Structures are given as structure tokens and as C-alpha cells.
Amino acid sequence: METLYDMHCHLGFVPSPDATAKDGAEAGIGAFSCTVEPAEYEQLQLILADASNVALGLGAHPWWIADGRVGKTELARFCELARTTQFIGEIGLDFAGPRDTEESRALQTSAFACILAACNEPVSSLASIDPESAAATSGQGRTRTATTNLQASPPIGGAPVRSATDTAPKLISIHAVNAAAAALDALEQAGAFALHHVIFHWFSGTSDDLHRAIELGCFFSVGPRMLASRRGREYARQIPLGQLLLETDMPARKDDNLPAEVWRAELNNALSGIAQLKGIDRKALANQLSSTTRELLMR
């Protein structure tokens, strides 16, 4: 069975994250599971300690920042934890609806700048990973929080190889709603593209934003919900194969279940949809996306 990688999901939302991760491993699913606040990340580090198929992201979601659930104390904790992990997500900006106010934009922008600065700090301790072990081990091993094998080969996207005493390249999942240009500006100002691998999850910016992000070497995680819109389908068609990844962004709500058969079906739907849009063989696409994902996870 081919391994499918979900590069943006939320196992912290399911009632039993460890059982869901184990079922996913048995179904041939690897995952980059994002969190919305540092406390969730720390809880899941313990719960998913034996989930070898899961890379756990340290997150500070812009919704939580905008409404105060992630305040100064939580941001300070994020900055401490950022030095211990390779995986960051979900972070970003959201200037839609109730968050589209001058006060909210200023709060989010300031927090995002602090978060990106923290990501540039040297990593203090890292553990190696092997994302391909998902189906074989069925949950045995360690949750993927970091990697020490930084000098094995050059990272994807041109980021320089760095020693453990320097800033280690991170894998960063970005949320940007009505804020893609602002997010790209902040990432450029922080030097993120020279240091890290940036993934835009469910990209919804303008066409100009998309082409700018592509030129900057960003990756894009695409799922069924992105493909449900005409613009999302067109963007997926335009994104170069080497910068494409799969995602589900599931579950959508706290305490929703994510059965392995539903999880894999969502990934298969996204894979088939992209293959059709690009007019390429599904199997060839699966191999390409798996290769890209494995290289990103093993940095």
C-alpha cells in the first residue's frame, strides 16, 4: 500500500489522537499535524509520543491570537518551544470577517513577527526522523518533533545546510486568509525563505500572490476543500509539481472523529483531483508528492 501524506491536519481535535494516529499508520497515512496553541502542542507531545507516522507542529493560530486565547504568556512559551522543534504550524495571518479590523491586524502582525523571529533562533535539541516507517511500524517509535541530520544533503528549495549550533531549517505551515501578501512580506522580512521551508496551507490569495509565493520557493498543501472552488482548482493546476503537497485540514471541529478510511479517502480524492487537473497519471503523481514530502520531513 502506498503511503499518503497529509501535510496539514489537526489530530489534537479528535477525541483520541493516539488511536487515530495508529489507525492512520495502519492505513498507510503519514501526517504533519498542526496545533493552534502551545498548550495543545505540549499535550500532544506526550499523547503522540509513540506515533512514528506523525510530525507534530508547534502552532499559534491567528484566530487564537486575534481573540486573546494566545496572548503574551502563550507567545512567550511558543518562543521557548520553537528552539526545540523543526516543525512549526499552524501560524499566520487572517484578515477576514471579524478579524479584519485595524486592531486585529496590528495584533496579529506583531505576533507573527515575533513568531518568525523565534523560528530563526538556534535549535537546542533535535531527534532524527524516518517518516517512511508509518505503515511498517503502525505507531511504534517517536513523534516527529525535530531532526539532527541537517548535513546529510541540501534541503529542498535552496535553503542552506546548517549545523546544529546555527538555525536549523524548519518546516512551517502557514495560514493566510485575505492576508497572503502581508504574510509573504513578513516572511521575507524575517528571512524565512533563506532559512526554512514554507508551506502555504489551502492557498487563497490573489493570482499575483500565488506566483510570488511560487517564485519564492513556497510549497502548497492542497486538499478536497481547496479543490471544491474554481479558483482553488486553477491554483492547483498552476502550482509546479515539485511544490505540491496533499492535505485534509481535518477534522474541522473539536471532538470530531477522523476514521482512517475517511482520512485516506480524502487524501485519495485530493490526489485524483490534482492528477485530473494536471492531466497526469495518478500513480506518477502519488510518487512525486511522496518523494517531495519525505524529503521535507527528513530535513
90 is in an annotated binding site: yes
Strand order in the sheet with 4-9: 4-9, 29-33, 54-56
Place of cell 513568531: 115
18 annotated among ligand-binding-site residues:
no
According to the annotation, is 175 in a ligand binding site? yes
Answer yes or no: are the C-beta atoms of 85 and 116 closer than 8 Å.
Answer: no
Among 69, 259, 289, 44, smallest CA distance to 142 is for 44
124 backbone φψ class: left, alpha, beta (φ>0; ψ -120 to 50):
alpha
Ligand-binding annotation for 249, yes or no, is: yes
Residue 61 is labelled as binding a ligand: no
Annotation-wise, does 197 bind a ligand?
A: no
* Nearest alpha carbon to residue 3 among 131, 171, 129: 131
Binding-site residue numbers are: 8, 10, 90, 175, 201, 249
Binding-site residue numbers for a divalent metal cation are: 8, 10, 90, 175, 201, 249
